[in-house]
Amino acid sequence: MSNPRYTLAILGGTGNEGPGLALRWAKAGHKVIIGSRQAEKGERVAAEINARLGAALVVGMTNEDAARACDVAALTVPYAAQNPLLESLQDVLQGKVLINVTVAMQPPKVARVYIPPEGSACEQAQALLGPGVQVVAAFQNVGAHNLEDPEQPLNCDVLVCGDSKEAKAVAIGLAEDLGTRGIDAGPLVNAKVVEGLTSVLIGINIRYKVPGAGIRITGLPE
């Protein structure tokens, strides 16, 4: 059975991670919206993605309009920008699933694990948005470099944390649509470990001079 198709908003989608996610999800049949502070920037990035796809499958909007129009939102902003953006979108995200790709980090030491008082960026997001939004942690450990070529399968798994089985199932399906495997990694409180792994992987990239180290979970049935 194929996974459901959604209208997906990638909030802050003009950075490193957003375009690659948009490209792969649009290719998989989802309607994708690139959200940005400025509609023109979102439209420009959407046009660049459409040129690669050879079809007008992606549109650009402001973050607010994108959040309002979507079924499912994905947040791909730097940690420092997360809370201000979510505060501005709190009302329009109610009743929706928010897949948070953001990682709690303290630049410039991004290869060191940082755990904020709330435990993780994802737990911060859930506390800020309230129970009306189902926050899921996913895709933090997928490097932007690995998303660039949609013809290449991803060579890493996606750990998915959240307090709603239904919301986690959405993220797991979207991982499959990227060309990889989504794995239920437990409740949202576990997101601190998944986010911390991102800093560990960044350090591995630096020390071993590789562009996109990832993780695989072994021992699971195929």
Does the residue 221 lie in any domain? no
Helices (H) and strands (E) in the chain, counts: 8, 8
Contact by Cβ (8 Å): 13, 42: yes
pLDDT of residue 97: 98
Does the residue 2 lie in any domain? no
User: What is the dihedral angle through the alpha carbons of 41, 6, 122, 133, rounded to the nearest 10 degrees?
Assistant: 110
Model confidence band, residue 1 (pLDDT cutoffs 50, 70, 90)? very low
pTM summary value: 0.96
Model pLDDT for residues 97-131, shown as the tens digit of each residue: 999 999 999 999 999 999 999 999 999 999 999 99
Does the residue 220 lie in any domain? no
What is the distance between the alpha carbons of residues 86 and 183, in angstroms, rounded to a whole number?
Answer: 26
pLDDT of residue 213: 94
Residue type, position 179, single letter:
G
Does the residue 109 lie in any domain? yes
Range of the domain at 65: 7-208
Going by their DSSP bridges, the two strands 158-162 and 134-137 should be labelled as antiparallel
Does the residue 165 lie in any domain? yes
DSSP-assigned beta bridge partners for residue 8: 32, 72
Mean pLDDT rounded to a whole number for the chain: 96
pLDDT of residue 12: 98
Model pLDDT for residues 174-185, shown as the tens digit of each residue: 999 999 999 999
Q: What are phi and psi of 67, to 5 degrees?
A: -65, -35
Model pLDDT for residues 43-96, shown as the tens digit of each residue: 999 999 999 999 999 999 999 999 999 999 999 999 999 999 999 999 999 999
pLDDT of residue 91: 98
What is the distance between the alpha carbons of residues 203 and 213, in angstroms, rounded to a whole number?
Answer: 9
Does the residue 1 lie in any domain? no
Question: What CATH number should be reported for the domain holding residue 139?
Answer: 3.40.50.720
Contact by Cβ (8 Å): 200, 113: yes
Model confidence band, residue 2 (pLDDT cutoffs 50, 70, 90)? confident
DSSP one-letter code for 180: S
Does the residue 115 lie in any domain? yes
pLDDT, mean of residues 142-150: 91
Model pLDDT for residues 28-38, shown as the tens digit of each residue: 999 999 999 99
Residue 222: pLDDT above 80?
A: no
Give me the number of domains the chain comprises: 1
